[in-house]
Amino acid sequence: MGAATTIPRKTRIQAQNEELILRAALEVFSAYGFRGATVDQIAASCGLSKPNLLYYFRRKEDIYVAVLEHTLHDWLEPLRSLDAAGEPIEEITRYIRTKIRLSRDNPKASRLFANEILHGATAVGNYLKGPLKELVDEKAAIISGWIAEGRLNPIDPHHLIFAIWATTQHYADFEPQVSAVTGNPPDLMATAEEALTRLFVEGLRPR
């Protein structure tokens, strides 16, 4: 009706610079946290002047939530693909392997979330209570089903999921500690994947 609504089409430059900014923001926010990071740092990191950066994102917080949203979806993909029709031990093994590889290949995203949650999850609180809870409840029900069928050792499925999250992300979030204690051997992540899958499989396979 009436005049055509102004469509917010994105310029080439706009898309390009926003991409640049989000990449730099992930770098800086994951390393220093929200308060520890400065707009100057992000601007310098992507070769833009500070006012220019603030032309694309008016406030520091806008950059932060943008980069959070930008990575949240990918981060939950492995859990989403946990398949009720699959073989339980296989499904969970695949989940653990995918998750630890994700931590290895994208430790900055892991640290970004860890920092956000550690400091109260003020920016993603609603997401946790909404979509995340829904997803986890759905998958927890699947696991409960497998347990009821006797195809898995009994365990509270929520705690199982927390345990998988905690153990896999540990290698990204606590990297300096892991390195210091192990001396950082080249096959660290491979042995971690092996140890974790064995531990969970042995713990979950019915005797």
| Residue from 55, 80, 156, 184 in contact with DNA (CB under 7 A) | 55
131 near its own copies (CB under 8 A): no
- Interaction partner, residue 196 (DNA, its own copies, none; CB < 5-8 Å by kind): its own copies
Question: Exposed, middle or buried, 111 (CB in 10 Å: 0-12/13-18/19+)?
Answer: buried
140 near DNA (CB under 7 A): no
Sign of CA dihedral 170, 173, 178, 183: positive
Residues 13-32 that bind DNA (CB under 7 A): 13-14, 17
Residues 177-206 that bind its own copies (CB under 8 A): 177-178, 180-183, 191-192, 194-196, 198-204
Query: Read out DSSP for 16-73?
Result: HHHHHHHHHHHHHHHHHHHHH--HHHHHHHTT--HHHHHHHSSSHHHHHHHHHHHHHH
Q: Considering beta carbons, is residue 49 or 182 the nearer one to its own copies? A: 182
Give contact residues for its own copies (rule: CB under 8 A): 31-36, 111, 114-115, 117-121, 125, 128-129, 132-133, 136-137, 153-156, 158-160, 162-163, 165-167, 169-171, 173-174, 176-178, 180-183, 191-192, 194-196, 198-204, 207
Give contact residues for DNA (rule: CB under 7 A): 11-14, 17, 37-40, 48-52, 54-55, 58-61
